[in-house]
Structure 1
Amino acid sequence: MCKKINLIGIACLMFFTCYAQHQSNNYQIAPIHMQSRWANEVSPENALKEYPRPQLKRNNWLNLNGLWDYTITDSTTTFPNKFDGKILVPYPIESALSGVQKPLLPEQRLWYKKDIKRPQIKTSDRILLNFGAVDWQATIYLNGKLVGEHSGGYQSFSFDVTDFLKPGNNDLWVKVYDPTDQGPNPHGKQVLHPANIYYTPSSGIWQTVWLETVPATRINHLKVTPDIDKSVLNVNINTIGNTDNTILEVIASANGKIISTGRKSIKGNDHSAIVNIPNVRLWSPDDPFLYDLTIRILKNNKPIDEIKSYFGMRKIAIQKDEKGTDRIFLNNKYTYNLGILDQGFWPEGLYTAPTDEALAFDIKSIKSLGFNTIRKHIKIEPERWYYHADKIGILVWQDFVNPSQDLRAGSKPAFEKEVQETMEQLHNHPSIVTWVLFNERWGSYDQQRLTEWVKKNDSSRIVNGHSGELLYVDNQLREPADNPWVSSDMTDVHSYPEPRLAPPKPNQARVLGEFGGVGVPVPGHEWDDMQGWGYVQVTPAELKVKYAHMMQELKELEKAGLSASIYTQPFDVEGEENGLLTYDRAIIKIPVNELRMLNRPFVSQTNGFNLDSSFSIAANMNLNDNDNRYDELMNEYNNGKRDSALLRRLILISIRKKDQVKTTKFSNDYADLLTTPFSKENLSFLSKTMFTSKDKGFELFLKNQQKVDEVLGPTTAIRNLTKIIEAEEITPLYTSKIPPDWDTVISKLKNKYGDLGEEFAYGSAMIYSGFGPEPKDWKNYGKYYVLYFEKALDHPLYHINNITWPLFEHVEDPKVLTFAAQVMKYALANWYQGDPEACDTYANLLHKLKQSGEAIKWEEKALQMKKGAPDEKIYADALQKMKSGLPTWPQNN
């Protein structure tokens, strides 16, 4: 069995030192170097005050957004007896807008508490407690009593809390568990240690919380599906309560005038109606017309419940054009989907937009640039985002949030549960025309079954069963695929940076699910100026030329059969600097009118695309503010200027120019300016500008490892320090013709760097023995494996499974093998739950130690998790050997 070796990986997030403050009622935005224009509008009094559910709207509601008490505890705490401070709901605890900006680790729990008053209600009324979304698992208590629990970081949920509330004040508690990328939960692009295309997590309450007074007999759920070919709207309504002797009334209106009314006697809780829509006005990006919908339950001819909603009449399908080519048709007309890949992140709010205006801005700006499609990438937005998409008029390809990529235990049922709930929650939005099941094989499984399941659940949309199942980078295919796009409505490739055409398949449209990714940093508008990333970097002046060339290529591909393309991306996001606008939405990299002109060959930009003269997208980028200013900035430095902004620019340019001497000089000058070196922003900066053991940051990290880890996260200090120790002390050993004297190396590193140096030397000796020059020294590999993991088991620099597999294959010493089995057992309990490769390694170690009964149990677990995978047979063969008492390790040692 071949296993990939992944050694030291270092990823740290760096911020500028700059503060944006907003105080109100003891609230203050946490320190942040970058914010959008809407951040200062946020306060406890107006935090996302709009009604959050436009598709099922009632008037009698109370917004609970605002300041709550919060604390972070370990996982065993029943109820905390003190709080750390105030948090602004509904902004994630990691965000600046929350006022907290702290990480939530998998072994921790986040607690919220708010005093709420019981609304005055009629005897027959009920009180619902509604949550837009909580990431990931929420447990709700009222006055110390358990109300209920919900899992799913993107779906709304409600509890009837009438019987839990007492007159006057009530204590509402919410406990949150969010393992981010360490659990079975769908988490999108959130990871605990962000780097490049992954971003800061958003834990806890991140959408609106509200109370709602409702009648006991009420409308609970609404599902509307347009049929433009029959000029009707199919309506399905679920009710709660006793509907005996009641009438259901459905009223459709256009521009304030009733166009259709229907009444029917009802009984039970599931009801359907067909609403005729005369002289249908179709919904499209050219004319995003929405009808109003009112639904009432009447008793004795009086309404006992009423909700407001809306709908759009539109149809999406794969049909053949006049040449017989399968294409995407909107309302029975071929419509090229000119799209853009929208991640939905904000510098100050992460998953949560600062205001409702900001939420709408992204859609307005994208459409103003001439795009008619947004691919909402691996995130489910608040319902108001889709409401704005419906009103503004943009086609939406909605990604489902992928399961954990290693498909650990529990991932599949969690994924399918959330997909089902997502389809139910978002069904009524006409803007959503495509469901995207999987992205680039992230956690993909049972593709045919799941694609067909989604299509059966919602026949009103087309399904992209696997976007980017074939991924090309620099015209090279990453990995082939067996039976790609099975049962899908599209064949979809990703190609970076240049566009390309997906292969033809009968009755499937050919689309380009992602392309572009052209990186252009904008000084002063970067989330992390030390980490900017794109599939290809160009200068500001080159970007428009590059984009224009890509649009010309796309036009040729369209002639050959391409129906859609998704450009990466509208906005920079954290370490990604490949947006058309900066992350703070302040600078646009190609002027608006020029972008519109380049997009016009694909989208006619009729009245629906007219620019609003009062709508300002962003300022144009300064094409001359680039690395050519090095000499100019150096003159300012030589004349005595030493402010932090100048030094950062000089550091960045000197790094790109590989001017190490000046980089060290500028970095140390910058370190001298720091008045709060242990802030997250400053420690992050020091971590990115440490290149030698003589740098000031190196000394600070070495002497304050625990403090650094408390601020930046576990193992941050050791990873940054060992990167430099490796470069200076270990790498030269590989170029020597004489094998290292590891006892001398270990003694030297312990004297210079203390326990850290000794520990790293053990690890380096292990790696050299097993992965260094021939011949391999497996005896020493086992020896140093033991010495290293005796010290570093809870904070390893190496992927334990990848380091342990070769030991299993080549080491015979029972004591070493027993120790390795204990290491794998610890790793399985703490990091690799549900990892089939780790289960397999542990099983093989047990088998080699003649504990074959236990080995077989673990190998059966591994095989079960590998069902349907290309390498399933490898695991099946190993299991058979274990059952037959045969060796599973090489016999030529």
Structure 2
Amino acid sequence: MKKIILCFALIMVGTIMAQEVPLVTNVFARNNINLNGKWNYVVDPLENGYYDYRLMPFQTNGFFENKKFNTAELQEYDLDTSPLMDIPSDWNSKDNRLFFYEGTVWFKKDFVYKKSASTKGILYFGAVNYDAKVYVNGKLVGNHVGGYTPFNFDVTNVLVDGNNFVVVKVDNKRHKDNVPTVNMDWWNYGGITREVVLSQVPITYIEDYLVQLDKTKEGVISGWVKLNSVVAKQTITLSIPELKIKKQVVTDSNGMAYFELKANPVLWTPESPKLYDISISKFDDSITDAIGFRTIKTVGKEIFLNGKKVFLRGISIHEEAPFRQGRAWSKEDAITLLTWAKELGCNYVRLAHYPHNETMVREAEKMGLMVWSEVPVYWTISWTNTDTYNNAERQLHDMIYRDKNRCAVVIWSIANETPHGDDRDIFLSKLAKYARTQDSTRLISMAMEVTKSNNNINTLKDNMSDFVDVISFNSYLGWYRGTNESCKLMQWVIPYNKPVIISEFGGEALQGLHGDKTKRWTEEYQEELYIQNTQMFDRIDGLAGISPWILVDFKSPRRQLPRIQDFFNRKGLISSSGIKKKAFYVMKDWYKKKEMEYK
């Protein structure tokens, strides 16, 4: 058991049992009670609601019980009369007192549930940052570690008919052995940051499924359906009406049903992002989805989408809400950000530096944007710590598990800007190999660093090149080293017969600050940086894509320069208030040229 990920895989409370269970795939297509909305919250920097004065965890009388006190009892907290916060959200942007806060906050929500002998209740969280302890009706149902991936608990046996309540202890303190570690360049937004639902499913339900073009057989759609229980001889019906497909399959002794279907679907492309309505059902359970079909592969130094050479015209994006800042989570947030990417001329987005919310990925798919999805193995983490590796592997597993049916996802990324070394190579090579066991149909990459430079020659050398399909690296010529002018003479040596993606480049500019193109922080400096860098990139052999850093200015505690940064990383092509900078149009013009080259 990997204790860093699931400290309480099975909790016994008398005769009551609660359990973290495999993710309910496509949870938002189920019969759900929506638990978004107003939640009470209590800020608890000393964790008084969890530990007694001897620093021992409470068995009773903790905040999780939400006890109803009488006037004769000592009462020093009351979740019911505490302030309210909108969920999903983050406390840093919702409560001015908590702008920099890292620690524990308790959240509580009341709901009504109608028990049924024929259904289960699965409590689903899209994400909680970072360490979540979840209680239902005062009983601990589980603990989840990791701030950007979904998790759910089977809470059937702790629910009661009528009034219920859920309490979540959320702790976003950074620790050296976490993933990410203590050092990062984005805001550590704390809270219940994505949607919460109580899914009502049959006792035996469709837990998971895979529907995709067969990797080896042309004109075949293949896949499988998995039940939550090892129940044989269950009839499953797969229907794709537009392709005139209706197929019945029967589960085996493992609760699995496999299928192969002859079909020639219209393939998904950025220009025509075709999705097919599908349904998967059994006599008491039915799910619908919209699924696209495409192929992605590399040949030598080129990337091929559906057998056609493609250049990935991209942009990097943080999961930060446009205009209002704070953690993004809604469909409206996703559409705004992705519309800006489309206006830039993108056919691809790098969702950095962690798995983004499911809505973001689905909207990208609908809009015709290929996706690079990444786990937060970022900078220098604890390479030799077993629990740290298990944490990273679990996040990688959950990212792939959730989005394996999203044809827009073409790259799984296992790391960003990690320092070279034997321990790091062992850690990351294991992650890469594990990713392939979970999905052999997509490309594997990571954002490397250029570590060797001799005069005007940059050489990329990284032992991880053997384990990835695409060589990706971050380059900040003109900002962290060199000048914009030095781009004119720079040559690149990339000694691998694989496609190359510039996963990051850029420089900061305060929108509205103007001056000479040699003056840092001005729009003109950033504009010139983009002009010189894109001209340099045209000389890189095997260049197959690029994702500048970054679409929109975002919050970062590292960026403190008064009247310029003010806790924003200003590398965005668009300001935090939604105004496009001059460099946006340089990139747009370059992408237009690339689009014409690849037609």
Compute the TM-score of the two structures, normalised by the length of structure 1.
Answer: 0.54
CA distance in structure 2 between the partners assigned to 1:55 and 1:403 by the alignment = 28
Deviation at 1:222, TM superposition (A): 1.9
Give the aligned partner of residue 589 of structure 1: 581
Give the aligned partner of residue 499 of structure 2: 509
Matched AA of 1:411:
T
Deviation at 1:150, TM superposition (A): 1.7
Give the aligned partner of residue 337 of structure 1: 312
Query: Out of 123, 131, 135, which is 1:137 matched to?
Result: 131
Structure 1 residue runs of 5 or longer lacking an equivalent are: 1-51, 192-196, 298-302, 321-325, 526-533, 608-893
Contact 2:459 2:494 in 1 (8 A): no
Give the aligned partner of residue 603 of structure 1: 595
Deviation at 1:128, TM superposition (A): 1.5
Matched AA of 1:337:
L
Please give the secondary structure, in 1, of the residue aligned with 2:86.
Answer: strand
Contact 2:574 2:581 in 1 (8 A): yes
Give the aligned partner of residue 231 of structure 1: 219
Give the aligned partner of residue 382 of structure 2: 407
CA distance in structure 2 between the partners assigned to 1:535 and 1:295 by the alignment = 59
Contact 2:513 2:522 in 1 (8 A): no
Contact 2:470 2:501 in 1 (8 A): yes
CA distance in structure 2 between the partners assigned to 1:487 and 1:524 by the alignment = 43
Give the aligned partner of residue 95 of structure 1: 93
Deviation at 1:404, TM superposition (A): 7.4
CA distance in structure 2 between the partners assigned to 1:174 and 1:428 by the alignment = 30
Contact 1:246 1:265 in 2 (8 A): yes
Question: Residues 513-561 of structure 1, C-alpha deviation per residue, up to 9 Å, x if partnerless?
Answer: 222x132212599xxxxxxxx998363345445434433333333xx32
Give the aligned partner of residue 412 of structure 2: 435
Question: In structure 2, do the counterparts of structure 1 residues 102 and 573 end up closer, same or farther at CA, with 3 Å as the change threshold?
Answer: closer
More displaced stretch, 586-595 vs 333-342: 586-595
Query: Out of 319, 323, 327, which is 1:352 matched to?
Result: 327
Is 1:153 the equivalent of 2:138? no
Question: Residues 438-481 of structure 1, C-alpha deviation per residue, up to 9 Å, x if partnerless?
Answer: 211169441333323323332111111x4223258998899986
Query: Out of 107, 111, 115, which is 1:116 matched to?
Result: 111
Give the aligned partner of residue 280 of structure 2: 295
More displaced stretch, 279-288 vs 121-130: 121-130
Give the aligned partner of residue 39 of structure 2: 68
Please give the secondary structure, in 1, of the residue aligned with 2:185.
Answer: coil
CA distance in structure 1 between the partners assigned to 2:159 and 2:279 by the alignment = 31
Deviation at 1:283, TM superposition (A): 0.9
CA distance in structure 1 between the partners assigned to 2:202 and 2:292 by the alignment = 28
Greater strand content: 2
Identity %: 24
Question: Residues 189-242 of structure 1, C-alpha deviation per residue, up to 9 Å, x if partnerless?
Answer: x86xxxxx7232111210001112111111011223323761222222221247
Please give the secondary structure, in 1, of the residue aligned with 2:430.
Answer: helix
Please give the secondary structure, in 1, of the residue aligned with 2:365.
Answer: helix
CA distance in structure 2 between the partners assigned to 1:351 and 1:268 by the alignment = 47
Please give the secondary structure, in 2, of the residue aligned with 1:212.
Answer: strand
Give the aligned partner of residue 509 of structure 2: 520
Question: In structure 2, do the counterparts of structure 1 residues 356 and 605 end up closer, same or farther at CA, with 3 Å as the change threshold?
Answer: farther
Describe how 1:169-568 pairs up with structure 2 within 5 A: 169-180=163-174, 182-187=175-180, 198-227=185-214, 230-241=218-229, 243-253=231-241, 257-276=242-261, 278-297=263-282, 303-320=283-300, 326-346=301-321, 352-353=327-328, 355-402=330-377, 405-407=380-382, 409=385, 410-441=387-418, 444-446=424-426, 447-464=428-445, 466-471=446-451, 483-497=463-477, 503-505=493-495, 507-515=497-505, 517-523=506-512, 537=520, 539-541=522-524, 543-557=526-540, 560-568=541-549
Contact 1:497 1:535 in 2 (8 A): no
Query: Out of 554, 570, 587, which is 1:573 matched to?
Result: 554
Question: Residues 56-112 of structure 1, C-alpha deviation per residue, up to 9 Å, x if partnerless?
Answer: 54352121111111112223254233345222111011123x67645443xx42211
Report the structure number with the largest CA radius of gyration: 1
Deviation at 1:282, TM superposition (A): 0.9
CA distance in structure 2 between the partners assigned to 1:594 and 1:493 by the alignment = 21
Is 1:86 the equivalent of 2:57? no
CA distance in structure 1 between the partners assigned to 2:494 and 2:123 by the alignment = 50
Give the aligned partner of residue 8 of structure 2: none
Deviation at 1:116, TM superposition (A): 1.2
Give the aligned partner of residue 704 of structure 1: none
Matched AA of 1:232:
V
Question: In structure 2, do the counterparts of structure 1 residues 579 and 429 end up closer, same or farther at CA, with 3 Å as the change threshold?
Answer: same
Deviation at 1:281, TM superposition (A): 0.8
Question: Residues 369-390 of structure 1, C-alpha deviation per residue, up to 9 Å, x if partnerless?
Answer: 1121211111211111100011
Between the two structures, name the one with larger relative contact order (CA 8 Å, sep ≥ 6).
Answer: 2
Deviation at 1:406, TM superposition (A): 4.1
Structure 2 residue runs of 5 or longer lacking an equivalent are: 1-22, 53-57, 64-76, 479-486, 556-567
Deviation at 1:114, TM superposition (A): 1.3
Question: In structure 2, do the counterparts of structure 1 residues 569 and 243 end up closer, same or farther at CA, with 3 Å as the change threshold?
Answer: same
CA distance in structure 1 between the partners assigned to 2:432 and 2:518 by the alignment = 30
CA distance in structure 2 between the partners assigned to 1:271 and 1:248 by the alignment = 10
Matched AA of 2:411:
T
Contact 1:70 1:113 in 2 (8 A): yes
Please give the secondary structure, in 2, of the residue aligned with 1:205.
Answer: coil
Deviation at 1:287, TM superposition (A): 1.2
Please give the secondary structure, in 1, of the residue aligned with 2:447.
Answer: coil
Aligned length: 519
CA distance in structure 1 between the partners assigned to 2:451 and 2:569 by the alignment = 19
Deviation at 1:367, TM superposition (A): 1.7
Question: In structure 2, do the counterparts of structure 1 residues 511 and 246 end up closer, same or farther at CA, with 3 Å as the change threshold?
Answer: closer
Matched AA of 2:153:
F
CA distance in structure 2 between the partners assigned to 1:330 and 1:392 by the alignment = 16
CA distance in structure 1 between the partners assigned to 2:134 and 2:168 by the alignment = 5
CA distance in structure 1 between the partners assigned to 2:532 and 2:496 by the alignment = 30
Contact 2:126 2:194 in 1 (8 A): yes
Contact 1:289 1:312 in 2 (8 A): yes
Matched AA of 1:460:
T
Describe how 1:648-727 pairs up with structure 2 within 5 A: none
Matched AA of 2:590:
L
Please give the secondary structure, in 1, of the residue aligned with 2:533.
Answer: helix
Question: In structure 2, do the counterparts of structure 1 residues 484 and 216 end up closer, same or farther at CA, with 3 Å as the change threshold?
Answer: closer
Deviation at 1:423, TM superposition (A): 1.6
Give the aligned partner of residue 74 of structure 2: none
CA distance in structure 2 between the partners assigned to 1:448 and 1:171 by the alignment = 44
Give the aligned partner of residue 168 of structure 1: 162
Contact 2:348 2:370 in 1 (8 A): yes
Greater helix content: 1
CA distance in structure 1 between the partners assigned to 2:257 and 2:396 by the alignment = 24
Contact 1:155 1:421 in 2 (8 A): yes
CA distance in structure 1 between the partners assigned to 2:363 and 2:25 by the alignment = 10
Contact 2:531 2:586 in 1 (8 A): no
Question: In structure 2, do the counterparts of structure 1 residues 350 and 521 end up closer, same or farther at CA, with 3 Å as the change threshold?
Answer: closer
Question: In structure 2, do the counterparts of structure 1 residues 259 and 327 end up closer, same or farther at CA, with 3 Å as the change threshold?
Answer: same
Please give the secondary structure, in 2, of the residue aligned with 1:537.
Answer: coil
CA distance in structure 2 between the partners assigned to 1:371 and 1:540 by the alignment = 21
CA distance in structure 1 between the partners assigned to 2:590 and 2:460 by the alignment = 33
Contact 1:518 1:578 in 2 (8 A): yes
CA distance in structure 1 between the partners assigned to 2:584 and 2:546 by the alignment = 20
Question: In structure 2, do the counterparts of structure 1 residues 507 and 391 end up closer, same or farther at CA, with 3 Å as the change threshold?
Answer: same
CA distance in structure 2 between the partners assigned to 1:421 and 1:65 by the alignment = 22
Contact 1:389 1:431 in 2 (8 A): yes
CA RMSD of aligned residues (A): 3.4
